[in-house]
Structure 1
């Protein structure tokens, strides 16, 4: 009897190298990320903003996954040496393969360019644009049967997103390109626009300090959304609490946030009513200060009613 039941589809499927799936250096999260990438056609541009949206995870997490993949040799980052990045253009181009040797062989010309700054990039037309639909390089190209239509290219989608946001908040895009270019490596475009709207003169050093403080707030369970908190803090509408609350209170916030998430998931199972869930939550939180519990109770109630 077969315990691993395999399909025999002749279309709408992907092939993946077993050596990648069985690599013990890759955790389940990285393997899932790699499987998602390999399901895309060869000309699909790896874009951090779009991956964050499609996978419903934060941009920071996407960057961590990519950086780990690069460390393990399954991805390669090609950074174009340009002073300014045009609208809708990517400065960093990412290459992925489930075969390290194939990735190294395929990206060898780019690696050579990276170590030879005087070499003209005109010899590599595919690097001049984020679209890699056609390649004029005489190097092996990764070819895998994919779940997507191979004629599809996501470059135009990315440009459309940028253009729509630019049209909405055109006045905010008159800021210096240096800070905007820096922010694009960390934040999504909507957050960048909102941030520069409330504080158009923010410097890179100011942002670094603000971002660090917001992350501490988030890790301590004092805010629910890093990007929203960042914009509020930049506008002066957020009071940082991480540095003023003691360690014991921080532990309580973490516990309450954990209970909040637990009961949201518990409610989704459908075994208890909304009122039963709220009662259970309050009963478990009786030993904590009411002022600390109240915001989490209110949020839980809103989540259950939504």
Structure 2
């Protein structure tokens, strides 16, 4: 062996992974994305990309993993197909992910899905508009790309998810079929497992009732009285939760707290400006950036106050 070779390679005849050079040499692919891509390419072609399972295998948080996946989608190496599912079985995946180290191959393989618009899942704090639901229950089959047979399929998870999806639960199906409107509303806010248990706890739950319930549960969570919003929602819907807070009693307290926070930020940024580390525009930009979660009208009012005080200094 040549001792001047610093990259020591071996010509493997088995148990190896093939990676496209264009993917490795793409300057937009950082080390984290490259690591994720290598792990996915190491899986068999019909391995279902599941966020929870992949997060566990890679030992990273789901939020970070989703950020990496979204970046892969932006760069064109991954595609997310959102299935329009009316009845969701426990364990079923609403988002199907496809990955390739070859952008052209990925586009060609997923061409049939790209005519259907995909929308990202909303966060818990975002309520969708109430739309008229479709009464047609689409197929629950997972779309699987045709691929060559793989000798080692010991870590193939396709059959696991297919078995879960094909397993019918008559009682839960009846509950959901009788409540299509609330179900279509909830599927953009909660995961499938929580929806099933929530409607099982209260089959006649309405959208307005859910909104009030959700606000009360958020207060319980913020006050440290519950550890999991979804679990608390289910228990509260079944009448098994004693609330410590009420929405009406806390609205004034929340507004007063916002006033205190914004006032203190004005004082902080005035002192910060006097030190001379930032310009007026930078200070105003920082104030707006850090105050996005508060009421827009209140922030605007305090923004003007900060602007006046900065100009007088």
* TM-score, length of structure 1 as denominator length: 0.49
Structure whose CA Rg is larger: 2
Greater RCO, 1 or 2 (C-alpha within 8 Å, sep 6+): 1
TM-score calculated relative to the size of structure 2? 0.48
Structure having the larger proportion of residues in helix: 1
